[in-house]
Structure 1
Amino acid sequence: MPILYLMAACLIGAAFATQPAINAAAAKVLGSPIPATVMSVAITLAASIVIMVLGRTTPSMAAVTSLPWWVVIGGLIGVLVVGGGVVIVPVTGVAIFFVCLIAGQLAGSILLDHYGAFGLAVREIGAMRLCGILVTFAGVLLVRYG
């Protein structure tokens, strides 16, 4: 796995840490977490459309209509992440929100890998993967009570 991808993922993660705090500040100005979520998702949509058009990667209508029904779930999860962050971060702080988010992501991802969900390659749950998940949940406790 090229190191540049790992470094890019870390940089994206560091930038991502700012999103809930920014969106929570927007919710204060807008008076509610819902419009802040809408603004964040709308900006994401607009930027994605610009990148798609400039990159000349606009799919055909046939390709769009052939997508499986469960693709909608990805968009709904995005709204949960943004909206949840807007509501949860002012109460918990950014660090505990993200350590819980990551622990949940890892727990869910190990199951997705194990079953090869959504057409992914099967990667069975092993002892080391389970230990990694347990260490992550221990991290939740350390961040919360440390």
Structure 2
Amino acid sequence: MNASLSPQLPASVLLPLIVAMAAGAAVPFQAGSNASLGRALGHPLWATVASLLVSLLVVIPVLIGMRAGLPKLAAAARGPWWLWIGGVAGVAYITAALVLTPRLGAASFIVCVVAGQVVASLLIDHFGLMGLPAKPVNLVRVAGVAIIVAGMLLVQWGTTTASAGAAAKAMGT
């Protein structure tokens, strides 16, 4: 194939995509480890606490190493109320992950998370929420989200049919 006809992404675009994929790849491991931690600690919320404490213990040395300086708490306190919901969302996500991942499986849980993220992101973009510029919904964007939601349903259906097949096989039918 002629090299001039094949699209190539520059490293300045490709590297952030790879880093974002690696960050995304860590999420199912986080869900699985937190689920096991919750069982080991005796309650899912203790795993949420432990996860957040470990996060704090990891990020503080990074901040010190980067010489980030002290946080500007007064400026943040004067900001809109929604500046602070990230922590609440983090607790909700971590707790849902450690409770639901063992029940749904890692793939089913994560595909639901991704579908929820994309639907919410489309709404945030459309209305320009959270201080972001408005990017109105159009048919192409809605179609893309619909494909992702359809993919979520297919993963769920595939999991259900696989479980039913395994159960039937175990019963000898």
Same-fold call, TM cutoff 0.5: yes
User: Radius of gyration: which is bigger?
Assistant: 2
Alignment of 1:1-146 (within 5 A): 2-57=13-68, 58-146=70-158
Deviations 1:83-142 (A, max 9, x none): 110100010000010100010110000000011112111111011110111111111111
User: Larger deviation: 106-115 or 59-68?
Assistant: 59-68
User: Larger deviation: 46-55 or 21-30?
Assistant: 46-55
Letter in 1 for 2:17: L
* Partner SS state of residue 58, structure 2: helix
Letter in 2 for 1:51: V
TM-score of the superposed pair, with normalisation by structure 2: 0.79
Percentage of pairs with the same residue: 38
Deviations 1:36-80 (A, max 9, x none): 111001111222222222212232343343333212211100001
Letter in 1 for 2:138: G
Displaced runs of 4 or more, over 4 A: none
Letter in 2 for 1:131: A
- Alignment gaps of 5+ in structure 1: none
C-alpha contact 2:126 2:137 (8 A) present in aligned 1:
yes
Q: How many matched pairs? A: 146
* Partner SS state of residue 70, structure 1: helix
Letter in 2 for 1:118: M
C-alpha contact 2:76 2:83 (8 A) present in aligned 1:
no
TM superposition shift of 1:28: 1.3
Deviations 1:20-39 (A, max 9, x none): 10001111111110101110
Letter in 1 for 2:137: I
TM superposition shift of 1:144: 1.0
TM superposition shift of 1:82: 0.4
- Alignment gaps of 5+ in structure 2: 1-11, 159-173
